[in-house]
């Protein structure tokens, strides 16, 4: 076996090419293929299993008993072969029988063989079958051999699909259902839109996988790369957002991938192994997909989408096949449907025609979400299977606020949607008109209304909605969208821009809440221990105090950015007072150091803690005297109070924020803060819901930090209520006599004509 993967695969491909070109049956070709691979890898056994009618069937073998061919069948997920096909992953074992999934099939005579390696035969991201080798000696197959197998599997997928030997997954057939369907998803960018379905991406079909002239294929890739890089440079250069923002960092990262030499090198190596340019790009992409699938990290999978986006673009260029819907002229009212999108792909669309985007995947921190938010295009994510449930041109009504999309609505539904849209627009106009009116209750009590933010462009919302400041600036967002750890200068620039946009309104910066499920790919952990409960794990302040270099850099960035102003800083997930004290001391130390360096400093620093961990409520008498303010994070607090994962869809509606347990808990905290004369606010999502905000005001909360879209509705409610009367109502409800607090408060509001939108 030659020592480089490319040479090894190339040797096999040359022999395979003859087999493929021969004029005999597909079965005869498969029989020959297993012989060639077995010989080339000096493997006693080589077998091919194909998925037929949903089951993996042994189609050809060298080394196992021939009687087993077309007899041995395994369900998907059954045995090692089933595992490879289901997970679309490679296995390489020196002792197959000791793997927990090993399933012995006596008819094959495989008990003689110990080592086992198998690779999936993939087409359109699904396994068509499995190619595996076995050996009598217990030995692990070498990387060269595995790579050769993967390349061969790539070529085989063409043979198998052309001969229609295996199930080929869902086709591009039209959806036959023409009825109305409602689907649900995840809110990514808020908004409502009516429009017609446009599929983002026609499929690129790879027609030939084995190259005739390797040098020519290399040239094709070189010119495709040049063309693709030109496109990316053009698109990113032309993107106009009117303001600096995270999307620029996102695009920089994206560009970095486009220019990644490692990627080019891997594609060239695949070409050296005998593949065509198209097959080489796909082969490398399959490899990356397999690797990424093993990493259970939402951030890395976001990066994966960037890579998919670029690989698809490269494939389209190299194969000269159709572009995305963006290049084909978009219809007037397009709702774009895609599995996922890369940020640059989205930028290619005409913003005036693009009304909304619906994705089968997607996440809040994904690059495409950030760019869409900057473009002002509503996005609904995680809508399962939508690509297979709609046809191009179908009418859809999307309402991100209700997490829903209505496909092929009836005329009545369309009318109701238009009315809702109209009401929403009218209400929005009313809120805009209310923008400069004070946030004061009917009986003259002032309630500070601040906004939650995390991106540079969020600061614009302050003026748009007329908020009193930023009550929670989630500094980790910058870390989450960057490919590398943001340097101090970069952090400082962001903080300064946000402070400048806020003018004399306060901005409360929360130090990074990373770790746990918000893992940063570029940050090494001390251990690779998997966390069963990342929300309760090594995150936020816990991590920051252990890794204090990160916190020191951030403290300096915050102090320097606030020179000549008041810096408000708060710490997340404080569980015990000493943590707060240690964090504060760390910032103070940085302040002293900067002072010694004769740097310009903030005129004052105000320190706060977030109350998200219930235990902290029991030690407020110790903590409050040391604090300038307290901010209650009801998102985490309720998940810990009820022991209910805040991200679990089945638990999302189960526990009510207006339950007696939460209200009593909050009441106690708010009253203790009043006793100690420490300002207290709520910065979780609870405060952004009108009825919940009303309850909080009834408990005495006078500062809410909420999502910008809620400022209008909440302010309208505040201006309509009598806070004193509400306080008495809430006191009564805390007694526990009323079970349905939500119902009672709604009734109270309705009787007083208070709008609860
Ligand atoms: C909270 O937990 O309520 C909060 C505001 O913080 P985050 O949502 O960022 O965890
Ligand atoms: Mg929190």
- pLDDT at residue 231, rounded to an integer: 81
Mean pLDDT to the nearest integer, 21-33: 85
Confidence of residue 519 (pLDDT cuts 50, 70, 90): low
Question: What confidence tens digit (pLDDT) does each residue in 187-218 have?
Answer: 888 889 999 999 887 656 777 888 889 999 99
Same domain? For 579 and 642 the reply is yes
| Residue 636 CB less than 6 A away from ligand 1 | yes
| Residue 476 CB less than 6 A away from ligand 1 | no
- pLDDT at residue 172, rounded to an integer: 44
Mean pLDDT to the nearest integer, 264-276: 91
- Cβ neighbours of residue 501 closer than 8 Å, sequence gap 6 or more: 459, 460, 462
Give the number of the atom of ligand 1 that is nearest the alpha carbon of residue 476.
Answer: 9
Lowest mean pLDDT among 46-50, 88-92, 417-421: 88-92
Confidence of residue 682 (pLDDT cuts 50, 70, 90): very high
For residue 641, give the ligand nearest its CA: 1
Question: What confidence tens digit (pLDDT) does each residue in 103-114 have?
Answer: 888 888 888 888
Same domain? For 146 and 224 the reply is no
For residue 313, the domain's CATH number is: 3.50.30.10
Same domain? For 50 and 95 the reply is yes
Q: Which helix (H) or strand (E) holds 630?
A: strand 629-632
Rounded distance from Cα 572 to ligand 2 centre (Å):
7
Same domain? For 51 and 128 the reply is yes
For residue 123, the domain's CATH number is: 3.30.450.40
Is residue 406 predicted with pLDDT exceeding 90? yes
- pLDDT at residue 242, rounded to an integer: 46
State how beta strands 604-611 and 470-474 pair: unpaired
Q: Ligand 1 atom 6: the closest Cα is on which residue? A: 633
Confidence of residue 744 (pLDDT cuts 50, 70, 90): very high
Rounded distance from Cα 694 to ligand 1 centre (Å):
20
Closest CA to 6 of 154, 213, 156, 145: 145
Q: Ligand 1 atom 1: the closest Cα is on which residue? A: 633
Considering 76-90, 91-105, 583-597, 701-715, the range whose residues carry the highest mean pLDDT is: 583-597
**168 within domain boundaries:** no
- pLDDT at residue 295, rounded to an integer: 61
- pLDDT at residue 18, rounded to an integer: 80
| Residue 474 CB less than 6 A away from ligand 1 | yes
| Residue 516 CB less than 6 A away from ligand 1 | no
**746 within domain boundaries:** no
| Residue 200 CB less than 6 A away from ligand 1 | no
Lowest mean pLDDT among 137-146, 585-594, 633-642, 735-744: 137-146
477/552: higher pLDDT: 552
Dist. CA 753–CA 584, nearest whole Å = 46
Instruction: Give the chain's domain count.
Output: 3
* DSSP state at residue 132: E
> What percent of the chain shows pLDDT beyond 70?
90
List the structure tokens of 336. 């774009």
Radius of gyration of the chain (CA): 30
Rounded distance from Cα 245 to ligand 2 centre (Å):
24
pTM more than 0.85: no
- Supply the angle between the helices 367-375 and 298-319 in degrees, to the nearest 10: 80
- pLDDT at residue 171, rounded to an integer: 46
| Residue 361 CB less than 6 A away from ligand 1 | no
**748 within domain boundaries:** no
Is residue 169 predicted with pLDDT exceeding 60? no
Question: What confidence tens digit (pLDDT) does each residue in 173-192 have?
Answer: 455 567 899 999 988 888 89
Same domain? For 647 and 685 the reply is yes
List the structure tokens of 600. 């310009």
Is residue 255 predicted with pLDDT exceeding 70? yes
Backbone angles phi, psi at 567, to 5 degrees: -95, 125
Mean pLDDT to the nearest integer, 296-321: 76
- Cβ neighbours of residue 69 closer than 8 Å, sequence gap 6 or more: 58, 59, 60, 61
For residue 633, give the ligand nearest its CA: 1
**732 within domain boundaries:** no
Domain boundary among 423, 454, 473: 423
- pLDDT at residue 569, rounded to an integer: 98
582/172: higher pLDDT: 582
Closest CA to 480 of 302, 645, 239, 361: 302
The domain of 502 spans 438-708
Question: What confidence tens digit (pLDDT) does each residue in 457-486 have?
Answer: 788 888 888 999 999 999 988 887 776 788
- pLDDT at residue 349, rounded to an integer: 85
Lowest mean pLDDT among 132-141, 253-262, 392-401: 253-262
For residue 634, give the ligand nearest its CA: 1
Give the number of the atom of ligand 1 that is nearest the alpha carbon of residue 632.
Answer: 3
Same domain? For 456 and 412 the reply is no
Starting at the edge strand found earlier in the chain, the sheet holding 181-184 runs 181-184, 404-407, 395-399, 192-199, 334-338, 354-359, 379-381, 186-189
List the structure tokens of 119. 């690779």
**757 within domain boundaries:** no
Same domain? For 372 and 414 the reply is yes
Instruction: Report the sign of the C-alpha dihedral through residues 624, 625, 627, 628, in that order.
Output: positive
Q: Ligand 1 atom 3: the closest Cα is on which residue? A: 633
Q: Ligand 1 atom 9: the closest Cα is on which residue? A: 474
Dist. CA 213–CA 314, nearest whole Å = 20
Rounded distance from Cα 612 to ligand 1 centre (Å):
8
- pLDDT at residue 202, rounded to an integer: 62
Dist. CA 713–CA 755, nearest whole Å = 8
Q: Which helix (H) or strand (E) holds 198?
A: strand 192-199
699/343: higher pLDDT: 699
Rounded distance from Cα 296 to ligand 2 centre (Å):
22
- pLDDT at residue 593, rounded to an integer: 96
450 in Cβ contact with 681 (< 8 Å): yes
**754 within domain boundaries:** no
Is residue 417 predicted with pLDDT exceeding 80? yes
* DSSP state at residue 606: E
Same domain? For 475 and 520 the reply is yes
Rounded distance from Cα 661 to ligand 2 centre (Å):
19
Residue with the two structure tokens 């995947």: 361
**418 within domain boundaries:** yes
Mean pLDDT to the nearest integer, 228-250: 68
- pLDDT at residue 234, rounded to an integer: 79
DSSP E strands in 331-394: the ranges are 334-338, 354-359, 379-381
Same domain? For 418 and 511 the reply is no
- pLDDT at residue 203, rounded to an integer: 59
Mean pLDDT to the nearest integer, 139-143: 84
Same domain? For 443 and 419 the reply is no
Return mean pLDDT, the chain: 87
- pLDDT at residue 173, rounded to an integer: 44
List the structure tokens of 121. 């035969």
Confidence of residue 378 (pLDDT cuts 50, 70, 90): very high
Same domain? For 344 and 306 the reply is yes
Confidence of residue 348 (pLDDT cuts 50, 70, 90): confident
Considering 11-25, 193-207, 619-633, the range whose residues carry the highest mean pLDDT is: 619-633
Mean pLDDT to the nearest integer, 425-444: 91
Rounded distance from Cα 143 to ligand 1 centre (Å):
45
Dist. CA 175–CA 337, nearest whole Å = 14
- pLDDT at residue 560, rounded to an integer: 98
For residue 501, the domain's CATH number is: 3.20.20.60
Rounded distance from Cα 707 to ligand 2 centre (Å):
14
| Residue 688 CB less than 6 A away from ligand 1 | no
Q: Ligand 1 atom 8: the closest Cα is on which residue? A: 635
Rounded distance from Cα 451 to ligand 1 centre (Å):
13
For residue 635, give the ligand nearest its CA: 1
| Residue 365 CB less than 6 A away from ligand 1 | no
| Residue 633 CB less than 6 A away from ligand 1 | yes
Other residues' Cβ atoms within 10 Å of the Cβ of residue 463: 13
Rounded distance from Cα 497 to ligand 1 centre (Å):
23
The residue whose CB lies within 8 Å of the most ligand 1 atoms, and thus the one to mutate among 458, 471, 474, 573, is: 474
163/715: higher pLDDT: 715
Dist. CA 155–CA 30, nearest whole Å = 12
Rounded distance from Cα 635 to ligand 1 centre (Å):
5
Confidence of residue 289 (pLDDT cuts 50, 70, 90): confident
| Residue 684 CB less than 6 A away from ligand 1 | yes
Same domain? For 527 and 619 the reply is yes
- pLDDT at residue 332, rounded to an integer: 84
- pLDDT at residue 371, rounded to an integer: 77
- pLDDT at residue 535, rounded to an integer: 83
Dist. CA 212–CA 216, nearest whole Å = 9
Give the number of the atom of ligand 1 that is nearest the alpha carbon of residue 705.
Answer: 5
Mean pLDDT to the nearest integer, 650-666: 88
**430 within domain boundaries:** no
Starting at the edge strand found earlier in the chain, the sheet holding 73-75 runs 73-75, 55-62, 45-52, 126-135, 115-123, 91-93
Mean pLDDT to the nearest integer, 528-532: 70
């Amino acid at each position: 076996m030659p020592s480089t993967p490319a040479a090894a695969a190339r040797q096999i491909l040359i022999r395979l090419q003859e087999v493929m070109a021969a004029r005999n049956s597909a079965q005869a070709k498969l029989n020959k293929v297993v012989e060639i691979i077995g010989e080339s890898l000096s493997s006693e056994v080589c077998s091919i299993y194909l998925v037929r009618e949903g089951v993996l069937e042994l189609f050809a073998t060298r080394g196992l008993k021939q009687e087993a061919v077309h007899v041995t069948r395994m369900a998907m997920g059954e045995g090692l072969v089933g595992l490879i096909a289901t997970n679309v992953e490679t296995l390489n074992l020196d002792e197959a029988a000791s793997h927990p999934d090993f399933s012995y099939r006596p008819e094959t005579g495989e008990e003689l063989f110990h080592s086992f390696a198998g690779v999936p035969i993939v087409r359109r991201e699904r396994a068509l079958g499995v190619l595996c080798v076995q050996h009598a000696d217990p030995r692990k197959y070498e990387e060269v051999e595995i790579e050769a197998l993967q390349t061969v599997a790539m070529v085989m997928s063409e043979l198998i699909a052309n001969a229609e030997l295996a199930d080929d997954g869902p086709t591009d057939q039209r959806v036959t259902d023409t009825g109305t369907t409602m689907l649900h998803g995840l809110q990514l960018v808020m908004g409502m839109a009516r429009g017609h379905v446009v599929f983002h991406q026609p499929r690129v079909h790879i027609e030939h996988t084995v190259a005739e002239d390797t040098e020519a294929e290399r040239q094709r890739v070189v010119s495709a790369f040049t063309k693709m890089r030109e496109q990316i440079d053009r698109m990113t250069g032309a993107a106009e957002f009117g303001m600096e923002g995270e999307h620029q960092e996102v695009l920089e990262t994206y560009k970095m991938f486009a220019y990644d030499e490692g990627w080019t090198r891997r594609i060239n190596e695949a070409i050296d192994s005998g593949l065509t340019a198209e097959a080489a790009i796909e082969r490398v992409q399959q490899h990356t997909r397999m690797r990424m699938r093993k990493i259970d990290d939402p951030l890395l999978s976001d990066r994966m989408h960037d890579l998919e986006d670029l690989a698809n673009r490269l494939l389209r260029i190299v194969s000269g096949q159709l572009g995305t819907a963006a290049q084909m002229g978009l219809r007037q009212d397009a709702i774009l449907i895609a599995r996922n999108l890369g940020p640059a792909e989205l930028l290619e669309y005409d913003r005036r025609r693009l009304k909304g985007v619906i994705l089968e995947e997607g996440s809040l921190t994904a690059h495409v979400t950030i760019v869409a938010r900057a473009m002002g295009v509503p996005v609904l994510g995680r809508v399962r299977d939508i690509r297979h449930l709609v046809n191009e041109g179908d009418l859809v009504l999307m309402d991100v606020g209700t997490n829903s999309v209505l496909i092929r609505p009836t005329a009545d539904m369309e009318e109701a949607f238009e009315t809702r849209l109209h009401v929403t627009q009218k209400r929005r106009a009313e809120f805009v008109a209310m923008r400069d009116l004070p946030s004061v209750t009917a009986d003259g009590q002032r309630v500070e209304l601040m906004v939650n933010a995390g991106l540079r462009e969020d600061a614009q919302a302050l003026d748009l909605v007329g908020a009193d400041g930023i009550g929670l600036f989630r500094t980790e967002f910058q870390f989450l969208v960057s490919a590398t750890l943001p340097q101090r200068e970069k952090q400082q620039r962001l903080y300064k821009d946000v402070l400048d946009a806020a003018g004399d309104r306060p901005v409360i910066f929360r130090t990074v809440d990373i770790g746990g499920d918000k893992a940063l790919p570029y940050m090494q952990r001390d251990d690779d221990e998997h966390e069963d409960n990342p929300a309760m794990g090594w995150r936020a302040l816990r991590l920051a105090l252990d890794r204090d270099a990160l916190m020191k850099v951030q403290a300096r960035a915050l102090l320097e950015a606030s020179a000549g102003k008041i810096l408000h800083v708060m710490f997340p997930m404080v569980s015990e007072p000493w943590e707060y004290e240690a964090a504060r001391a760390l910032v103070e130390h940085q302040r002293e150091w900067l002072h010694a360096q004769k740097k310009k400093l903030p005129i004052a620093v105000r320190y706060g803690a977030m109350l998200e961990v219930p235990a902290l409520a029991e030690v407020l008498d110790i903590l409050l005297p040391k604090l300038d303010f307290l901010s209650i994070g009801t998102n985490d607090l309720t998940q810990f109070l009820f022991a209910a994962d805040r991200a679990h869809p089945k638990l999302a509606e189960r526990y009510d924020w207006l339950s007696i347990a939460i209200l009593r808990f909050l009441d106690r905290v708010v009253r203790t803060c009043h006793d100690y004369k420490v300002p207290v606010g709520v910065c979780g999502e609870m405060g952004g819901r009108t009825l919940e905000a009303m309850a909080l005001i009834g408990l005495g909360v006078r500062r809410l930090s909420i999502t910008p879209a809620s400022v209008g509705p909440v302010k309208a409610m505040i201006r309509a209520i009598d806070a004193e009367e509400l306080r008495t109502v809430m006191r009564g409800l805390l007694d526990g006599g009323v079970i349905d607090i939500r119902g009672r408060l709604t009734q109270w509001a309705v009787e007083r004509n208070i709008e609860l939108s």
